[in-house]
């Protein structure tokens, strides 16, 4: 039996697994996820934080889906490295998993800004997963003042979710308005007004230079010299592709994983899909593809189908990427 290993259990990874099982039921599929939950709509975790939805409401696929397709899911497992020469994925606990083909759908994580001193303290989090959410909610009863350093949607989601009467939420924005690359100015202003109505203090055009505290966050210092006391700091700064486990391999990374139109990497039996990918033409020119749930799912499906064709020796029949013509409406942020 041929074996395909997929790193990542979100839109791209799950769609890839489903496509493989539909195309060839004789291929064994294993998904490796560093999270402890089954697949869920990542962009809806803010709803769980605010109490608008429960975890079960944002599930992407239920356990029955994995069982029906006989997909093995390894939850709470981190990949330490990949050995393309041995066709193996090595986990942090040193478990080795062999594959005939590998699909990397590991997505993005928040990039902790190196210029900020003291970020290695308890009480500093990102907000990209349900695991992050659980860690944050465990601390909030003991940290009524929360600072959020936000460049993107996740930071606004957590600001909205934590904006409760018992919480003092301060949103530190390095720009002069919200989401300048994703929203019209009028919509951004409306969003800012909604957050202010909920009691969120927005501090514009400021950055954090240092975090204070012995072991735990106690305060932070802005670039103006102002010091703000807080017990919880949430960072939603620039995002970076999760590719650390591919270091020292022949997979080209720029820092996203470089693929061709067929989502094949520079290693023949390794494919990639979703936000972790940067497609390029044979001449090395980047192929534009927006970061979205729908694009990630569509790329995962294509990577899965092309992986099957590769394993069947039909590389000449591989399909090329075509952006979805009719993407579902995925809201950037709902404050209703």
Q: What is the CATH number of the domain that holds 143?
A: 3.50.50.60
Contact present, 292 and 41 (Cβ < 8 Å): no
Residues 144, 234 within the same domain: yes
**Whether 121 and 171 share a structural domain:** yes
Has residue 269 got a pLDDT over 70? yes
Backbone torsions φ then ψ of 220, nearest 5 degrees: -140, 155
Q: Which of 238, 259, 282 is the last residue of a domain?
A: 238
Q: How confident is the model at residue 328 (pLDDT cuts 50, 70, 90)?
A: very low
Last residue of a domain, one of 238, 268, 287: 238
**What is the pLDDT at residue 186?**
93
Summary mean pLDDT of the chain: 92
In a domain, 325, yes or no: no
User: What pairs with residue 277 in β-bridges?
Assistant: 257
DSSP 317: G
Residues 96-151 have pLDDT tens digits of 999 999 999 999 887 788 899 999 999 999 888 999 999 999 999 999 999 999 87
Are 206 and 159 members of one domain? Answer: yes
My answer on whether 249 and 227 are in the same domain is no
254 and 190 in one domain? no
pLDDT the model gives residue 325: 59
Same-domain check for residues 102 and 140: no
The confidence score (pLDDT) of residue 335 equals: 52
Residues comprising the chain, all counted: 336
Q: Output DSSP code: residue 56.
A: G
Q: Please indicate, yes or no, whether residues 125 and 220 belong to a single structural domain of this protein.
A: yes
- pLDDT above 70: residue 334: no
Instruction: With a cut of 70, say whether residue 40 has pLDDT above it.
Output: yes
| 271-288 residue pLDDT tens | 999 999 999 988 888 887
Q: What is the pLDDT of residue 128?
A: 86
Among all chains, which residue has been given the structure tokens 């979100």? 10
Closest Cα partner for 276 from 294, 259, 298?
259
Upper half-sphere CA count for residue 67 (Cβ side, 13 Å): 3
Answer whether residue 333 shows pLDDT above 70: no
Can you tell me the distance from the alpha carbon of 186 to that of 178, in angstroms, rounded to the nearest whole number? 10
- pLDDT at residue 331 in the model: 44
322: in domain: no
Q: Which pLDDT tens digit goes with each residue over 143-187?
A: 999 999 987 888 898 999 999 999 999 999 999 999 887 788 999
User: For residue 11, which phi and psi values (nearest 5 degrees)?
Assistant: -55, -50
Give the least confident one: 182-191, 228-237, 324-333.
324-333
Range of the domain at 51: 3-107+242-317
Is residue 285 situated within a structural domain?
yes
Looking at the structure, do residues 69 and 7 belong to the same domain, yes or no? yes
Q: Is 212 part of any domain?
A: yes
Look at the chain and report how many structural domains it folds into.
Answer: 2
**Domain co-membership, 120 together with 75:** no
Q: Are residues 83 and 34 both part of a single domain?
A: yes
Residue 324, domain member (yes or no): no
> Does the residue 47 lie in any domain?
yes
Instruction: Note whether 120 and 229 are same-domain residues.
Output: yes
Same domain, 18 and 89: yes
Question: Residue 326's pLDDT is what?
Answer: 44
Of the chain, the percentage scoring pLDDT greater than 70 comes to 96
Give mean pLDDT, residues 236-250. 90
Q: In what order do the strands lie in the sheet with 96-98?
A: 79-83, 88-91, 96-98
């Amino acid at each position: 039996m041929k074996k395909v290993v997929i790193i990542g259990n979100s839109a791209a990874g799950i769609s890839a697994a489903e496509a493989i099982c539909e195309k060839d039921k004789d291929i064994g599929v294993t998904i490796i996820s560093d999270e402890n939950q089954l697949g869920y709509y990542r962009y809806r975790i803010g709803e769980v934080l605010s109490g608008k939805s429960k975890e079960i409401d944002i599930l992407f696929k239920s356990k029955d889906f994995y069982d029906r397709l006989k997909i093995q899911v390894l939850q709470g497992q981190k990949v330490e490295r990949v050995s393309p020469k041995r066709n193996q994925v090595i986990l942090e606990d040193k478990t080795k998993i062999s594959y005939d083909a590998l699909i990397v759908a590991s997505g993005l994580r928040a990039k902790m800004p190196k210029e900020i001193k003291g970020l290695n303290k308890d009480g500093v989090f990102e907000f990209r997963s349900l695991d992050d959410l659980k860690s944050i909610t465990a601390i909030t009863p003991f940290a009524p003042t929360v600072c959020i350093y936000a460049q993107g949607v996740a930071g606004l989601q957590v600001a909205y979710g934590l904006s409760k009467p018992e919480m003092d939420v301060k949103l530190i924005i390095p720009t002069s308005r919200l989401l300048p690359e994703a929203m019209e100015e009028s919509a951004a202003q409306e969003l800012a007004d909604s957050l202010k109505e909920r009691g969120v203090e927005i501090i514009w055009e400021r950055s954090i230079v240092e975090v204070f505290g012995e072991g735990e966050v106690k305060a932070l210092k802005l670039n103006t010299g102002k010091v703000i006391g807080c017990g919880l700091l949430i960072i939603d700064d620039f995002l970076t592709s999760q590719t650390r486990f591919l270091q020292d391999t022949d997979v080209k990374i720029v820092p996203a994983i470089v693929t061709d139109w067929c989502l094949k990497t520079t290693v023949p039996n390794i494919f990639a899909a979703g936000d972790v990918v940067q497609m390029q033409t044979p001449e090395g020119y980047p192929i534009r593809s927006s970061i979205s749930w729908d694009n990630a799912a569509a790329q995962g499906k294509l990577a899965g189908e092309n992986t099957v064709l590769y394993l069947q020796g039909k590389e000449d029949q591989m399909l090329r990427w075509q952006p979805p013509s009719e993407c579902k409406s995925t809201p950037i942020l709902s404050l209703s």
